[in-house]
Structure 1
Amino acid sequence: VRYFLAVASALNFTRAAEQCNVTQPALTKGVQKLEQELGGQLIYRERQLTQLTDLGKEVLPMLERTLASADAVRRRAQEFQRKDVAPLKIGLAPSISASLVLDPIAEIAKFVPGLHVELREGVAEKLVDLLLEGEINAAMVGDVRDVPARIDDWSLFEERYVAVLAPTHRLANRPSIGIDDLRETVLLERAGCDVAPKIQQSYFPEKPPQLGHCSGHDLHLQHMAAAGFGVILAPEHMPRLPT
């Protein structure tokens, strides 16, 4: 492919061979091999006149992209071997705050300058699938039943859940908030939360809680809570707005 692209650019076999740092017979043989693989002539050779055939013109842009992709693969592989790029993909369940992993990652980055971190959020079952498919390297989730044998798992910590609400809320400034209090107030719903079903089964088995507004983003929910729209049940480590 590289030989053909050189000829297509120079329209001269001698100059193309010089550019590729090979002999002209070697370059000609390489182009002929490509023509055999593609099943048609790519270049007209008429004495001093060298032109692309219609097939040559058709495949030229695709072969240019092919060579560029191959070169990019080589560069990426070399960077990986030199650890210029060290990808680390971590999956987080919706109930797990990214703040929990930032300090350890910062320590790793001191020793691996090329560290490239990607955080992906998903429910526990989805993250398990991504681990099995090799799409992520590690995941932090809540309780997972029937973890596949291919996955190593450790219990890292236990985390309390707290009520997050506006200072003007009627439940504010109390030393504690009971389940009965929560049954009588509006809870803001975190869409896709993996802990919400467990909370409902444990503390609201007979009558579901009053669910008000919802969002898939913690920050949006906090702004709504700060404005007095309801109460969030959230992991204790989740970064919170000062309001």
Structure 2
Amino acid sequence: MELHQVRYFLAVASSLNFTRAAEQCNVTQPALTKGVQKLEQELGGQLIYRERRLTQLTDLGKEVLPMLERTLASATAVRRKAQEFQRKGVAPLKIGLAPSISASLVLDPIAEIAKFVPGFYVELCEGAAEKLIDLLLEGEINAALVGDIQDMPARIDGWLLFEERYVALVGPTHKLANRPSIGIDDLREAVLLKRAGCDVALKIQRSYFPENPPHVGHCSGHDLHLQHMAAAGLGVILAPEHMPRLPTLKTIPLDGDLVSREVRLLAVQGRRYSPALDAFVKVARLRDWSVEACQRGCTT
């Protein structure tokens, strides 16, 4: 079934005259008649009685008329919506962020792109790196920032943005707050605050707790929740250096800098980039992220 066939039928049903219907549709009468006949063939029955000057809808024609009217109206609405979308010049960009990768990292690139991409707007979502890769492949997001990841699919392009160390965050009243650095023995005795979905959890386990699991006091899927707990003296957070933090927290380096991770930008290989995605990839790859990451972590 083609839309022009539906339009021809509706014109005949409205005027009950093939000549006027053809004029209304701006086609020849033979073309209109042929279109209606093809529609009848597809629906498996006659829609219109043609008896010389008498033109009437058949029972089947009357039955399908309201449904075909809705079909044409829906198609018209879709076309109108698409035209409005193009006129607005909307440039959406959906970015996925792995846990513990702060949205603060993309704020300046977003602001820069908004200056020269009309209609630019961003939607951010958070998820485990493996989930974000699935969303990329499914077209649900356009790009993703992730930490350490194993077994990158061949269809995914990845660009290293920067490498960062992990540091300890503690409240001002914590017993470790005045240490110049925190060692392995200190962490083994401390109560840790756990970030759900942490991408370097295995590295932390291997580096600081190779034999026995750490003493985890509290857990949350949100960094800010953990920071408020740490500020209240409830434990120690092992966090990426770039993460913005509460001004009441103290940042203490870990002895030996045993734990670090790489932060990468991901996009689907070979897929045509929208103007927004193309701009974001270019800005991200040209940016000095090492300076950016340090500034975010040290001044926020």
TM-score, normalised with respect to structure 2: 0.64
Give the CA deviation at 1:103. 1.1
1:3-22 equivalences in 2 (<5 Å): 4=6, 7=10, 11-12=14-15
Q: Distance in 1 between matches of 2:35 and 2:72?
A: 14
Q: Contact between 1:186 and 1:212, CA under 8 Å: does it hold in 2?
A: yes
- How large is the RMSD of aligned CA atoms in angstroms? 3.5
3-state SS of 1:181 partner: helix
User: In the alignment, is residue 61 of structure 1 matched against residue 65 of structure 2?
Assistant: no
Identity %: 73
Mean CA deviation greater in 64-73 or 204-213: 64-73
Mean CA deviation greater in 61-70 or 23-32: 23-32
3-state SS of 2:124 partner: strand
User: In the alignment, is residue 96 of structure 1 matched against residue 105 of structure 2?
Assistant: no
Picking from 156, 176, 181, the partner of 1:176 is 181
Measured against aligned partners, the alpha-carbon deviations of 1:26-50 in whole angstroms (never above 9, x if no partner) come to: 5555444434333345567895876
Give the CA deviation at 1:212. 2.2
Instruction: Structure 2: state its 5+ residue gaps.
Output: 249-300
Give the CA deviation at 1:199. 1.1
Greater relative contact order, per chain length (Cα 8 Å cut-off, separation 6+): 2
Measured against aligned partners, the alpha-carbon deviations of 1:119-168 in whole angstroms (never above 9, x if no partner) come to: 23222233333444444333222223343444333322111222223323
Q: Distance in 2 between matches of 1:42 and 1:68?
A: 25
Q: Contact between 1:89 and 1:117, CA under 8 Å: does it hold in 2?
A: yes
Tell me what 1:188 maps to. Answer: 193
Q: Distance in 2 between matches of 1:220 and 1:19?
A: 65
- Structure 1 runs (4+) deviating above 6 angstroms are 14-19, 43-46, 48-51
Tell me what 1:151 maps to. Answer: 156
3-state SS of 1:64 partner: helix
Q: Contact between 2:102 and 2:243, CA under 8 Å: does it hold in 1?
A: yes
Q: Contact between 2:97 and 2:124, CA under 8 Å: does it hold in 1?
A: yes
Q: Distance in 1 between matches of 2:84 and 2:108?
A: 31
Measured against aligned partners, the alpha-carbon deviations of 1:96-127 in whole angstroms (never above 9, x if no partner) come to: 22211221222122111222323232222333
3-state SS of 1:241 partner: coil
Which residue identity does 2:62 align to in structure 1?
A: T
Measured against aligned partners, the alpha-carbon deviations of 1:51-104 in whole angstroms (never above 9, x if no partner) come to: 96122234543553344234434554xx2xx79122333222213222112212
User: In the alignment, is residue 125 of structure 1 matched against residue 130 of structure 2?
Assistant: yes
Query: Which structure has more strand as a fraction of its residues?
Result: 2
Which residue identity does 1:65 align to in structure 2?
A: S
User: In the alignment, is residue 208 of structure 1 matched against residue 213 of structure 2?
Assistant: yes
Give the CA deviation at 1:208. 0.8
Q: Distance in 2 between matches of 1:205 and 1:185?
A: 16
User: In the alignment, is residue 85 of structure 1 matched against residue 90 of structure 2?
Assistant: yes
Q: Contact between 2:166 and 2:241, CA under 8 Å: does it hold in 1?
A: yes
TM-score, normalised with respect to structure 1: 0.76
Q: Contact between 2:5 and 2:38, CA under 8 Å: does it hold in 1?
A: no
Mean CA deviation greater in 16-25 or 165-174: 16-25
3-state SS of 2:164 partner: coil
3-state SS of 1:158 partner: strand
3-state SS of 1:212 partner: strand
